[in-house]
Structure 1
Amino acid sequence: MLIDSRLRSVCDARTAPDPEKQELIDQFLASLGTKGMGDLLDGACTLIFMFMKWLRLAYEENDKDVIEHVVPNLVASMRMMPGSVSPEAIPTMAGLIIAAGTGLSPNLWRKQYGYWTDEELTALEVTVFLLAEHINRLADDRDFATRLITDALASAEGA
Protein backbone atom coordinates (compact mmCIF):
# COMPACT_ATOMS: atom_id res chain seq x y z
CA MET A 1 0.00 0.00 0.00
CA LEU A 2 2.77 2.44 0.94
CA ILE A 3 4.87 1.58 -2.09
CA ASP A 4 1.87 1.84 -4.42
CA SER A 5 1.13 5.26 -2.94
CA ARG A 6 4.73 6.37 -3.54
CA LEU A 7 4.70 5.02 -7.10
CA ARG A 8 1.49 6.87 -7.88
CA SER A 9 2.77 10.13 -6.39
CA VAL A 10 5.96 9.98 -8.46
CA CYS A 11 4.11 8.96 -11.64
CA ASP A 12 1.64 11.77 -11.07
CA ALA A 13 4.40 14.31 -10.40
CA ARG A 14 2.63 16.88 -12.52
CA THR A 15 0.02 17.19 -9.77
CA ALA A 16 0.83 18.77 -6.44
CA PRO A 17 1.56 16.38 -3.55
CA ASP A 18 -1.50 15.69 -1.44
CA PRO A 19 -0.66 16.83 2.12
CA GLU A 20 -3.76 15.10 3.49
CA LYS A 21 -2.69 11.78 1.99
CA GLN A 22 0.83 12.22 3.39
CA GLU A 23 -0.60 13.03 6.81
CA LEU A 24 -2.66 9.82 6.74
CA ILE A 25 0.44 7.79 5.84
CA ASP A 26 2.41 9.47 8.63
CA GLN A 27 -0.40 8.75 11.14
CA PHE A 28 -0.54 5.13 10.00
CA LEU A 29 3.21 4.68 10.43
CA ALA A 30 3.14 6.36 13.86
CA SER A 31 0.34 4.03 15.00
CA LEU A 32 2.22 0.82 14.20
CA GLY A 33 4.31 0.51 17.34
CA THR A 34 7.37 -1.72 17.61
CA LYS A 35 5.73 -4.96 16.46
CA GLY A 36 3.94 -3.23 13.62
CA MET A 37 7.16 -1.61 12.43
CA GLY A 38 8.87 -5.01 12.53
CA ASP A 39 6.04 -6.44 10.44
CA LEU A 40 6.34 -3.53 8.01
CA LEU A 41 10.10 -4.17 7.64
CA ASP A 42 9.46 -7.88 7.09
CA GLY A 43 6.84 -6.97 4.51
CA ALA A 44 9.26 -4.68 2.68
CA CYS A 45 11.83 -7.51 2.57
CA THR A 46 9.14 -9.87 1.30
CA LEU A 47 8.28 -7.40 -1.47
CA ILE A 48 11.97 -7.24 -2.40
CA PHE A 49 12.10 -11.04 -2.53
CA MET A 50 8.96 -11.27 -4.69
CA PHE A 51 10.07 -8.48 -7.03
CA MET A 52 13.53 -9.98 -7.45
CA LYS A 53 12.02 -13.42 -8.10
CA TRP A 54 9.85 -11.96 -10.87
CA LEU A 55 12.79 -10.02 -12.28
CA ARG A 56 15.03 -13.11 -12.14
CA LEU A 57 12.47 -15.11 -14.12
CA ALA A 58 11.97 -12.29 -16.62
CA TYR A 59 15.69 -11.85 -17.21
CA GLU A 60 16.39 -15.60 -17.36
CA GLU A 61 13.70 -15.90 -20.01
CA ASN A 62 15.89 -13.61 -22.13
CA ASP A 63 19.16 -15.36 -21.14
CA LYS A 64 20.23 -12.43 -18.97
CA ASP A 65 21.47 -12.24 -15.40
CA VAL A 66 19.19 -10.38 -12.98
CA ILE A 67 22.05 -9.28 -10.73
CA GLU A 68 23.97 -7.81 -13.68
CA HIS A 69 20.95 -5.86 -14.92
CA VAL A 70 19.30 -4.76 -11.68
CA VAL A 71 22.01 -4.08 -9.09
CA PRO A 72 24.10 -1.49 -11.00
CA ASN A 73 20.99 0.49 -11.98
CA LEU A 74 19.59 0.40 -8.46
CA VAL A 75 22.91 1.47 -6.92
CA ALA A 76 23.35 4.26 -9.48
CA SER A 77 19.82 5.51 -8.80
CA MET A 78 20.40 5.54 -5.04
CA ARG A 79 23.69 7.40 -5.48
CA MET A 80 21.74 10.15 -7.22
CA MET A 81 19.58 10.54 -4.08
CA PRO A 82 22.09 11.66 -1.41
CA GLY A 83 19.39 13.64 0.38
CA SER A 84 17.26 10.53 0.87
CA VAL A 85 19.70 7.62 0.81
CA SER A 86 22.90 7.79 2.81
CA PRO A 87 25.97 6.38 1.02
CA GLU A 88 26.50 4.01 3.97
CA ALA A 89 23.12 2.32 3.37
CA ILE A 90 23.69 1.59 -0.33
CA PRO A 91 25.96 -1.48 0.13
CA THR A 92 23.39 -2.98 2.52
CA MET A 93 20.61 -2.51 -0.03
CA ALA A 94 22.79 -3.96 -2.79
CA GLY A 95 23.50 -6.99 -0.59
CA LEU A 96 19.81 -7.32 0.19
CA ILE A 97 18.77 -7.43 -3.45
CA ILE A 98 21.64 -9.74 -4.37
CA ALA A 99 20.47 -12.11 -1.62
CA ALA A 100 16.91 -11.94 -2.95
CA GLY A 101 18.11 -12.29 -6.54
CA THR A 102 19.86 -15.54 -5.68
CA GLY A 103 16.81 -16.94 -3.88
CA LEU A 104 17.84 -16.13 -0.30
CA SER A 105 15.43 -14.54 2.15
CA PRO A 106 16.28 -10.84 2.52
CA ASN A 107 14.77 -10.96 6.03
CA LEU A 108 17.15 -13.70 7.15
CA TRP A 109 20.10 -12.20 5.29
CA ARG A 110 19.59 -8.84 7.03
CA LYS A 111 19.07 -10.31 10.52
CA GLN A 112 22.69 -11.42 10.65
CA TYR A 113 23.72 -7.75 10.77
CA GLY A 114 21.54 -6.64 13.69
CA TYR A 115 18.85 -4.01 13.89
CA TRP A 116 17.94 -1.67 11.08
CA THR A 117 19.40 1.82 11.32
CA ASP A 118 17.39 4.95 10.60
CA GLU A 119 19.42 5.54 7.42
CA GLU A 120 18.61 2.03 6.20
CA LEU A 121 14.86 2.47 6.68
CA THR A 122 14.59 5.16 4.03
CA ALA A 123 16.98 3.22 1.79
CA LEU A 124 14.78 0.13 2.20
CA GLU A 125 11.70 2.05 1.08
CA VAL A 126 13.65 3.48 -1.87
CA THR A 127 14.85 -0.03 -2.80
CA VAL A 128 11.33 -1.44 -2.89
CA PHE A 129 10.16 1.59 -4.85
CA LEU A 130 12.99 1.32 -7.40
CA LEU A 131 12.41 -2.40 -7.91
CA ALA A 132 8.68 -1.82 -8.43
CA GLU A 133 9.42 0.97 -10.89
CA HIS A 134 11.92 -1.27 -12.73
CA ILE A 135 9.25 -3.96 -13.07
CA ASN A 136 6.69 -1.43 -14.27
CA ARG A 137 9.10 -0.18 -16.94
CA LEU A 138 9.93 -3.71 -18.12
CA ALA A 139 6.24 -4.57 -18.33
CA ASP A 140 5.40 -1.18 -19.86
CA ASP A 141 2.56 -0.92 -17.34
CA ARG A 142 2.71 1.53 -14.43
CA ASP A 143 0.51 -0.69 -12.22
CA PHE A 144 2.13 -4.04 -13.00
CA ALA A 145 4.19 -4.37 -9.80
CA THR A 146 1.17 -3.57 -7.64
CA ARG A 147 -0.96 -6.12 -9.51
CA LEU A 148 1.82 -8.67 -9.19
CA ILE A 149 1.61 -8.42 -5.39
CA THR A 150 -2.19 -8.18 -5.15
CA ASP A 151 -2.54 -11.24 -7.40
CA ALA A 152 -0.07 -13.16 -5.24
CA LEU A 153 -2.01 -12.17 -2.10
CA ALA A 154 -5.33 -13.12 -3.69
CA SER A 155 -4.03 -16.53 -4.75
CA ALA A 156 -2.55 -17.11 -1.27
CA GLU A 157 -5.90 -16.31 0.36
CA GLY A 158 -7.71 -18.67 -2.02
CA ALA A 159 -5.35 -21.56 -1.26
Structure 2
Amino acid sequence: MSSSCDPQDAPVGDVGAALMVIDSRLRAVYGGRTDPDPEQQRLVAQFADSLGPDGFDALLDGACTLIFMYMNWLRTVCENHDEDVIEYVVPGMVATMRMMPLTFRPEVVPTMAGLLVAAGSGLSPNLWRAQYGPWTDAEMNPLEATAALLAERINRMSGGDQDFATRLITDALSGLDED
Protein backbone atom coordinates (compact mmCIF):
# COMPACT_ATOMS: atom_id res chain seq x y z
CA MET A 1 0.00 0.00 0.00
CA SER A 2 1.44 3.36 -1.03
CA SER A 3 1.67 6.28 1.37
CA SER A 4 1.78 10.02 0.78
CA CYS A 5 5.04 9.84 2.78
CA ASP A 6 6.69 7.17 0.62
CA PRO A 7 10.45 7.87 0.49
CA GLN A 8 10.56 7.29 -3.26
CA ASP A 9 8.39 10.40 -3.67
CA ALA A 10 10.53 12.59 -1.41
CA PRO A 11 13.14 15.07 -2.56
CA VAL A 12 16.60 13.91 -1.51
CA GLY A 13 17.91 17.43 -1.13
CA ASP A 14 21.53 18.40 -0.75
CA VAL A 15 22.78 15.47 1.32
CA GLY A 16 26.40 16.51 0.85
CA ALA A 17 25.83 19.95 2.33
CA ALA A 18 23.75 18.54 5.18
CA LEU A 19 26.45 15.96 5.91
CA MET A 20 29.08 18.71 5.96
CA VAL A 21 27.07 20.65 8.57
CA ILE A 22 26.47 17.53 10.71
CA ASP A 23 30.09 16.39 10.45
CA SER A 24 31.24 19.88 11.46
CA ARG A 25 28.94 19.78 14.48
CA LEU A 26 30.23 16.34 15.50
CA ARG A 27 33.85 17.45 15.17
CA ALA A 28 33.11 20.33 17.55
CA VAL A 29 31.60 17.93 20.08
CA TYR A 30 34.45 15.44 19.73
CA GLY A 31 36.90 18.30 20.06
CA GLY A 32 35.55 18.92 23.55
CA ARG A 33 33.62 22.10 22.81
CA THR A 34 30.28 22.13 24.55
CA ASP A 35 29.46 25.74 23.76
CA PRO A 36 28.82 26.60 20.13
CA ASP A 37 31.92 27.92 18.42
CA PRO A 38 31.04 31.46 17.29
CA GLU A 39 33.29 31.17 14.24
CA GLN A 40 31.70 27.88 13.22
CA GLN A 41 28.22 29.32 13.74
CA ARG A 42 29.17 32.30 11.58
CA LEU A 43 30.50 30.06 8.82
CA VAL A 44 27.44 27.80 8.87
CA ALA A 45 25.15 30.85 8.81
CA GLN A 46 27.16 32.34 5.95
CA PHE A 47 26.97 29.04 4.10
CA ALA A 48 23.20 28.79 4.65
CA ASP A 49 22.73 32.39 3.48
CA SER A 50 24.72 31.67 0.33
CA LEU A 51 22.34 28.88 -0.61
CA GLY A 52 19.36 31.10 -1.23
CA PRO A 53 15.79 29.89 -0.62
CA ASP A 54 15.95 26.89 -2.97
CA GLY A 55 19.34 25.85 -1.65
CA PHE A 56 18.17 26.19 1.93
CA ASP A 57 15.16 23.97 1.19
CA ALA A 58 17.55 21.45 -0.38
CA LEU A 59 19.65 21.57 2.80
CA LEU A 60 16.56 20.86 4.91
CA ASP A 61 15.60 17.98 2.64
CA GLY A 62 19.19 16.72 2.84
CA ALA A 63 19.06 16.74 6.65
CA CYS A 64 15.83 14.74 6.53
CA THR A 65 17.44 12.31 4.10
CA LEU A 66 20.31 11.86 6.57
CA ILE A 67 17.80 11.12 9.34
CA PHE A 68 16.09 8.60 7.06
CA MET A 69 19.37 6.93 6.09
CA TYR A 70 20.62 6.77 9.68
CA MET A 71 17.33 5.34 10.92
CA ASN A 72 17.35 2.85 8.04
CA TRP A 73 20.83 1.68 9.07
CA LEU A 74 19.73 1.48 12.71
CA ARG A 75 16.60 -0.46 11.67
CA THR A 76 18.77 -3.04 9.91
CA VAL A 77 21.03 -3.38 12.96
CA CYS A 78 18.05 -3.69 15.28
CA GLU A 79 16.35 -6.29 13.10
CA ASN A 80 19.56 -8.37 13.17
CA HIS A 81 19.21 -8.41 16.97
CA ASP A 82 15.43 -8.96 17.02
CA GLU A 83 14.82 -5.44 18.32
CA ASP A 84 12.49 -2.70 17.16
CA VAL A 85 14.29 0.43 15.97
CA ILE A 86 11.63 2.79 17.29
CA GLU A 87 11.70 1.18 20.73
CA TYR A 88 15.52 1.12 20.67
CA VAL A 89 16.17 4.66 19.41
CA VAL A 90 13.29 7.03 20.11
CA PRO A 91 13.00 6.93 23.94
CA GLY A 92 16.72 7.57 24.43
CA MET A 93 16.75 10.31 21.81
CA VAL A 94 13.73 12.03 23.37
CA ALA A 95 15.36 11.81 26.81
CA THR A 96 18.51 13.39 25.38
CA MET A 97 16.48 16.11 23.67
CA ARG A 98 14.74 16.92 26.95
CA MET A 99 18.15 17.34 28.62
CA MET A 100 19.08 19.97 26.00
CA PRO A 101 16.41 22.65 26.50
CA LEU A 102 18.41 25.38 24.75
CA THR A 103 18.57 23.33 21.55
CA PHE A 104 15.28 21.44 21.89
CA ARG A 105 12.57 23.69 23.22
CA PRO A 106 9.78 21.51 24.67
CA GLU A 107 7.39 22.32 21.83
CA VAL A 108 9.72 20.93 19.13
CA VAL A 109 10.53 17.61 20.85
CA PRO A 110 7.32 15.94 19.57
CA THR A 111 8.12 17.03 16.01
CA MET A 112 11.67 15.67 16.18
CA ALA A 113 10.38 12.44 17.76
CA GLY A 114 7.83 12.26 14.95
CA LEU A 115 10.61 12.57 12.36
CA LEU A 116 12.41 9.65 14.01
CA VAL A 117 9.26 7.53 14.15
CA ALA A 118 8.43 8.33 10.52
CA ALA A 119 11.94 7.40 9.38
CA GLY A 120 11.98 4.33 11.63
CA SER A 121 8.69 3.24 10.06
CA GLY A 122 10.14 3.55 6.56
CA LEU A 123 8.42 6.85 5.79
CA SER A 124 10.04 10.01 4.47
CA PRO A 125 10.62 12.37 7.40
CA ASN A 126 10.43 15.48 5.20
CA LEU A 127 7.14 14.41 3.57
CA TRP A 128 5.78 13.46 6.99
CA ARG A 129 6.71 16.92 8.33
CA ALA A 130 5.31 18.70 5.26
CA GLN A 131 1.81 17.54 6.23
CA TYR A 132 1.91 20.06 9.08
CA GLY A 133 2.94 23.12 7.13
CA PRO A 134 6.26 24.77 6.42
CA TRP A 135 9.28 24.38 8.66
CA THR A 136 9.52 26.96 11.41
CA ASP A 137 12.61 28.85 12.52
CA ALA A 138 12.28 27.12 15.91
CA GLU A 139 12.78 23.74 14.20
CA MET A 140 16.05 24.51 12.38
CA ASN A 141 18.55 23.87 15.20
CA PRO A 142 16.59 20.86 16.52
CA LEU A 143 16.55 19.30 13.03
CA GLU A 144 20.32 19.66 12.74
CA ALA A 145 20.81 18.39 16.29
CA THR A 146 18.55 15.39 15.67
CA ALA A 147 20.65 14.32 12.70
CA ALA A 148 23.84 14.92 14.72
CA LEU A 149 22.55 12.90 17.69
CA LEU A 150 21.71 10.00 15.38
CA ALA A 151 25.15 10.16 13.78
CA GLU A 152 26.81 10.28 17.19
CA ARG A 153 24.79 7.27 18.36
CA ILE A 154 25.86 5.32 15.28
CA ASN A 155 29.48 6.31 15.89
CA ARG A 156 29.26 4.99 19.46
CA MET A 157 27.64 1.75 18.23
CA SER A 158 30.53 1.28 15.80
CA GLY A 159 32.96 1.02 18.69
CA GLY A 160 33.66 4.72 18.98
CA ASP A 161 34.73 5.36 15.39
CA GLN A 162 34.04 9.10 15.20
CA ASP A 163 33.80 9.07 11.40
CA PHE A 164 31.67 5.94 10.93
CA ALA A 165 28.32 7.71 10.38
CA THR A 166 29.90 10.13 7.92
CA ARG A 167 31.55 7.27 6.01
CA LEU A 168 28.26 5.40 6.02
CA ILE A 169 26.68 8.24 4.03
CA THR A 170 29.67 9.02 1.81
CA ASP A 171 29.97 5.33 0.90
CA ALA A 172 26.27 5.23 0.03
CA LEU A 173 26.63 8.37 -2.09
CA SER A 174 29.72 6.96 -3.79
CA GLY A 175 27.77 3.82 -4.63
CA LEU A 176 25.10 5.96 -6.28
CA ASP A 177 27.71 7.82 -8.32
CA GLU A 178 29.04 4.51 -9.63
CA ASP A 179 25.56 3.47 -10.79
* TM-score, structure 2 normalization: 0.84
CA distance, structure 1, for counterparts of residue 162 and residue 148 of structure 2 = 12
CA distance, structure 1, for counterparts of residue 33 and residue 39 of structure 2 = 17
Q: Which runs of 5+ in 2 are unaligned?
A: 1-19
- Name the aligned partner's letter for residue 92 of structure 1: T
Which of 57, 60, 71 lines up with 2:90 in the alignment? 71
Q: Which runs of 5+ in 1 are unaligned?
A: none
How much has 1:22 moved relative to structure 2?
A: 3.8
Change (3 A) 1:142 1:97: same
Change (3 A) 1:35 1:143: same
Change (3 A) 1:15 1:101: closer
How much has 1:30 moved relative to structure 2?
A: 1.4
Which of 86, 109, 112 lines up with 1:93 in the alignment? 112
Q: Which residue of structure 2 aligns with residue 39 of structure 1?
A: 58
Q: Which residue of structure 2 aligns with residue 143 of structure 1?
A: 163
- Name the aligned partner's letter for residue 155 of structure 1: G
Cα RMSD for the two superposed structures? 1.6
CA-to-aligned-CA distance 1:25-66 (integer Å, 9 cap, x gap): 221111111111100010000000000000000011111111
CA distance, structure 2, for counterparts of residue 148 and residue 84 of structure 1 = 26
Which of 135, 140, 155 lines up with 2:175 in the alignment? 155
Per the alignment, in what secondary structure is the counterpart of residue 88 of structure 1? coil
Q: Which residue of structure 2 aligns with residue 26 of structure 1?
A: 45
Q: Looking at secondary structure, tell me which structure has more helix per residue.
A: 1
CA distance, structure 2, for counterparts of residue 18 and residue 92 of structure 1 = 26
Change (3 A) 1:114 1:14: closer
Q: Which residue of structure 2 aligns with residue 9 of structure 1?
A: 28
CA-to-aligned-CA distance 1:65-103 (integer Å, 9 cap, x gap): 110110011101110111111110000111111010010
